[in-house]
Structure 1
Amino acid sequence: MIVEAVMLNVKRGMEDDYEEAFREAAKIISSRKGYISHELQRCLEVKGKYLLLVKWETLDDHTVGFRQSEEYQEWKRQLHHFYDPFPTVEHFEKVPVS
């Protein structure tokens, strides 16, 4: 399992519209092969700042299966105009510590 982590900065004054659009767009991502779960968190200190965490079975499920799909084009259409600056997506894996 990998975790996709994205710090999102939504344009000022568009936060409510973004949250509504994200609820709709979440249907797209949750239907994809390899999707496990996601959560969107709102920053308490900085208005318009969000953290998106998406769990995928494999890195390819996100970078190939989702990012190269037609559904991703719809995801972009629904959400990408809210971001400034455009976010950097990073992927993480669990480190065994015991």
Structure 2
Amino acid sequence: MILELAHFRIAPGSDTGFEAAFATAQTILASMPGYLDHALHRCIEDGCEYRLLVHWNTVEDHMQGFRESPRFGEWRALLQPFFAAPPSAAHYQLVFANRATS
């Protein structure tokens, strides 16, 4: 399992539209082979900054299976109008994890 960490900077004042578009776009993402789960986070200090965390089985599931599919174009078309800068993404593998128990 790998983690894709995507960085989105959206235009000021477009958070409501972006989040509504993402609600639709996430169904495309979740339908892809190799997809495991995702979470979208908005920065508290800068409301124009978002991070998308997606778990995939492999890097290839993301880069070839999703990014090279026609569905990626659909996904991108929903979100592109809100971007203030081109998004960036990188892949990570887990080294350590610790979860608090309550």
Normalising by the smaller structure, the TM-score range is over 0.9
How big is the shift at 1:81?
Answer: 2.1
Identical columns (%): 37
Residue 16 of structure 1 corresponds to: 16
Deviations 1:69-92 (CA, angstroms, capped at 9, x unpaired): 010110011012211211211000
Deviations 1:18-70 (CA, angstroms, capped at 9, x unpaired): 00000000000000000000000111100211111000000000000000101
Question: Distance between the aligned counterparts of 1:45 and 1:31, measured in 2?
Answer: 32
Q: Please give the TM-score of this superposition, normalised by the length of structure 1.
A: 0.94
Task: Give matches, 1:1-98, under 5 Å.
Answer: 1-95=1-95
Aligned residues: 97
Question: Distance between the aligned counterparts of 1:82 and 1:2, measured in 2?
Answer: 27
Structure 2 residue runs without a partner (length 5+)? 98-102
Question: Distance between the aligned counterparts of 2:12 and 2:96, measured in 1?
Answer: 40
Moved over 2 A (4+): none
How big is the shift at 1:96?
Answer: 5.3
**One-letter amino acid of the counterpart of residue 2, structure 2:** I
Moved more, 82-91 or 55-64: 82-91
Q: Please give the TM-score of this superposition, normalised by the length of structure 2.
A: 0.90
Secondary structure of the residue aligned to 1:86 is coil
